[in-house]
Amino acid sequence: MPIAMIEQCEEQGLDWAEMGLGADEVEPAKPRDNQRDVDQIKEQLSSKHGWVSLGEEGKRIQKVLAAMDADEDLDEFGAWEEHLEKNLRFPFEAVIAEFQERGPLRSGDKVVVTGIGDVTDEMYGIIVDLKVGKRKYAFPLCDLEATDKKSANCQLVKDYAIWFANR
């Protein structure tokens, strides 16, 4: 199946991995693949094109994940960390966009993001360093929105948050 067809199906929310045919539309044939092979190919194609369904954000997310070198043991968080370290410009102003159940920071608080922290957590994702006044905090990037809507940082943070929420 051409890649363009897979991407078109993803964009339209259609299942490209299956097709319904009537009995008069098929002919008997010897199997050429086993189920494990089919599942493996479906997984490879899904990981390569599955984000396209999210529109322009999905296409950018797909590019970040496609940059992962198959020979390296770089997970998706590693790909995002590398991409963000290369492309985010620090410091930048942001606002806490998600409800915070605990801690001193609340939704709507304005912060200054000073860099990417040393920790990535499966539950909270990439942790960034930020300041509020003179106080310093470590905080999940996925819960932030850059305030300068015209900056490249705004789109980068938004794309990461969309990926994180949909992974």
CATH at residue 89 = 2.30.30.530
Residues 6+ apart with CB under 8 A from 98: 107, 142, 143
| Whether 165 and 135 share a structural domain | yes
Q: How far is CA 143 from CA 65, 69, 105, 125, 137, in A?
A: 21, 28, 11, 10, 13
Which ranges constitute the DSSP H helices of 72-138? 76-87
Strands 92-96 and 110-121 come out as antiparallel
Domain count, the chain: 2
Bridge partner list, 144: 96
Confidence (pLDDT) at 6: 81
In a domain, 68, yes or no: no
Confidence (pLDDT) at 80: 95
Cβ atoms of residues 127 and 138 within 8 Å: yes
The domain in which residue 14 lies consists of 1-54
SS3 state of residue 71? coil
Confidence (pLDDT) at 98: 94
| Whether 86 and 126 share a structural domain | yes
* Average pLDDT per consecutive 10 residues, the chain (167 residues; last block may be shorter): 80 81 89 88 76 85 77 73 96 96 94 95 94 97 97 97 93
In a domain, 90, yes or no: yes
Confidence (pLDDT) at 83: 96
| Whether 50 and 87 share a structural domain | no
